[in-house]
């Protein structure tokens, strides 16, 4: 069965007339480098998650906000740093709650006069433990991303199946890669605890909007055969290729057969 291509909620309000495009054709490369430097100078490691990371791994998306992931114990500090930089940053526009998402609960900052916004997110959101340099690789533009196996595992652990399917297609991953690099057996106690905590947070969001008929959703607490889930997502790569693409030339919806690793194409991410 094909998995929907949606990976994250739309989070960007239209740029105001006074906003100039961000650097690198509005990709925001120089701006995000400055964000990374600000955090590094404060002794805070970070990496990108969300749509920008999928783009790095070959998924054809046009995400605009950068989702900056920091260690859980540095989340408050990182958020406070950008709140204090009021000459450069201002609070970004709030967004409405989305299905199975806590993105609206995290601080969003917009660079003044520039079409550039970031969310600061705790590593909890992607079930990334003990974030350190060994878990990170850097793009040709020196932007930190979770290594492929760590990012894929986070999508498994947090039940982001649509994003995982997109990642499989972006990197043209095979069944053997997952069974070799991922923990696909029954969820660990830490993962089960994560589901409980996340569902409590989802319920709290829903309780805040009792009259809005909001259905925020929850993560599944039922046992999931993650090995079979992985195999199915890989097997369905061809099914996800759009009708407008010739299947004899495409291995996935994002990759031509024999195409180069998207990380080596010099894309501005």
Average pLDDT, the chain: 91
| The pLDDT of residue 57 is above 90 | yes
What confidence tens digit (pLDDT) does each residue in 60-71 have?
988 789 999 999
**267 versus 228: which is more confidently predicted?**
228
Tell me what pLDDT residue 17 has: 61
| The pLDDT of residue 13 is above 60 | no
pTM of the model: 0.91
Q: Decide: 208 and 94 in contact? Cβ < 8 Å.
A: no
Tell me what pLDDT residue 3 has: 42
| Domain extent listing, the chain | 20-264
């Amino acid at each position: 069965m094909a998995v929907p291509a949606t990976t994250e909620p739309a989070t960007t309000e239209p740029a105001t007339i006074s906003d100039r495009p961000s650097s690198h054709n509005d990709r925001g490369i120089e701006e995000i480098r400055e964000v990374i430097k600000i955090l590094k100078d404060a002794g805070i490691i970070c990496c990108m998650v969300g749509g920008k990371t999928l783009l790095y791994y070959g998924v054809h998306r046009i995400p605009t906000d950068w989702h900056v992931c920091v260690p859980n114990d540095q989340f408050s500090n990182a958020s406070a740093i950008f709140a204090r930089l009021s000459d450069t940053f201002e609070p970004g526009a709030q967004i409405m709650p989305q299905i199975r998402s806590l993105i609206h609960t995290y601080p969003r900052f917009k660079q003044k006069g520039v079409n550039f916004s970031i969310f600061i997110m705790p590593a909890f959101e992607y079930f990334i433990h003990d974030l350190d340099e060994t878990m990170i690789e850097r793009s040709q533009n020196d932007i930190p991303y979770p290594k492929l196996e760590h990012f894929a595992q986070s999508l498994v652990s947090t039940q982001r199946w649509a994003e995982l399917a997109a990642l499989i297609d972006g990197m043209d991953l095979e069944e053997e890669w997952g069974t070799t690099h991922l923990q696909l057996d029954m969820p660990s106690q830490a993962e089960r605890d994560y589901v409980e905590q996340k569902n409590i947070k989802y319920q709290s969001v829903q309780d805040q909007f009792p009259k809005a008929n909001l259905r925020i959703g929850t993560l599944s607490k039922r046992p999931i055969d993650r090995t079979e889930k992985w195999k199915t997502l890989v097997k369905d790569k061809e099914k996800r290729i759009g009708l407008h693409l010739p299947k004899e030339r495409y291995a996935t919806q994002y990759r031509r057969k024999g195409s180069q690793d998207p990380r080596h194409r010099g894309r501005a991410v």
